[in-house]
Amino acid sequence: MRHLLRMPALAALTLTFTAPAVANDAPNVDDLPAPVQALTDQGLTIHGQFEAPAGLTGYGASHSRGEVAVYLLPGGEHAIIGTLVDAEGTNLSEPQLDRHVRAAQFAEVWQDLEASHWIADGSPDAERIVYTFTDPNCPYCRQFWHEARPWVEAGQVQLRHIMIGVLASDSPAKAAALLGAEDPAAALHAHSGEGDEIEAGPQSREIEEQVYANNQLFDSLGFMATPTTLYRDGDRVDRVEGVPSPERLEEVMGGPAP
């Protein structure tokens, strides 16, 4: 009986990366050493190869539950999966995973956000863009909308509300009504800011499919809470699930309230 590799339990998606450029150094699968090749046969994807201390060869890899570092021992007959630390306890694996795995993955995530169907809230000239998954029936989404006002109204941040329908049976129809409104931004302002509940009226098939696509994106990223908010800080991308604490809100918005 063949024993399959049990991968370490990792978060489905950790939206943090530090590499400004995507590494393009993934080795050919057929050229991998036998132990690493065996791991790919069990579902591991190798994204990049790097030199590691003590004569080890490292590989940045991923599987269905996250990212992992693989280290080939000298001689090429054995490999170890795990975290490499130095004498001070510094994690030496994380920077390599940032570079060889996460940079490409999360650059793609940001592109997916840009290509999704959202309502712009704030100036198109704002220096900072923040994406947030918003369900029309979510009271915490409304709370976040209100708490973001100082940055949005100052023209510093544009919130892009990716409208989804996941909380109630009429959520998809309400999300479609907002996306399909004559002035979506005004409709969202009335709904979230003034308490004028949007009515779930019939929309075109195109608009309904936009909500469906947003729901699919939300699910594919492994998110569960609304709002879920994503932002960039230099070369980093991070997320906050639920209403941010005051400290996290300043991180999301890029600084203290104006």
Q: Write the pLDDT tens digit of every residue in 154-203.
A: 999 999 999 999 999 999 999 999 999 999 999 999 999 998 999 988 89
Q: Does residue 258 belong to any structural domain of this protein? A: no
Do 52 and 165 sit in the same domain of this protein? no
Single out the residue in 74, 104, 134 at which a domain terminates. Answer: 104
Q: Quick one: pLDDT band at residue 232, thresholds 50, 70, 90?
A: confident
Choose among 179, 171, 113: nearest CA to 139: 171
Q: Does residue 14 belong to any structural domain of this protein? A: no
Do 169 and 242 sit in the same domain of this protein? yes
Do 124 and 236 sit in the same domain of this protein? yes
Choose among 74, 77, 57, 236: nearest CA to 48: 57
Q: Does residue 183 belong to any structural domain of this protein? A: yes
Do 99 and 180 sit in the same domain of this protein? no
Do 46 and 80 sit in the same domain of this protein? yes
pTM for this prediction: 0.71
Q: Quick one: pLDDT band at residue 17, thresholds 50, 70, 90?
A: very low
Do 70 and 185 sit in the same domain of this protein? no
- Structural domain total, the chain: 2
Distances, alpha carbon 125 to alpha carbons 129, 187, 256, in Å: 10, 21, 19
Single out the residue in 104, 134, 166 at which a domain terminates. Answer: 104
Structural tokens at position 174: 């309400």
Do 131 and 240 sit in the same domain of this protein? yes
Single out the residue in 104, 135, 154 at which a domain terminates. Answer: 104
Do 139 and 78 sit in the same domain of this protein? no
Do 123 and 242 sit in the same domain of this protein? yes
Structural tokens at position 86: 């130095």
Dihedral sign of CA atoms 187, 190, 192, 198 in order: negative
Do 92 and 123 sit in the same domain of this protein? no
Choose among 187, 200, 223: nearest CA to 15: 223
**Separation of alpha carbons 43 and 212, rounded Å:** 29
Are 108 and 208 in contact, with CB atoms under 8 Å apart? no
Percent of the chain with pLDDT over 90: 72
CATH number of residue 235's parent domain? 3.40.30.10
Range of the domain at 156: 116-253
**Tens-place pLDDT, residues 34-73:** 999 999 999 999 999 999 999 999 999 988 778 899 999 9
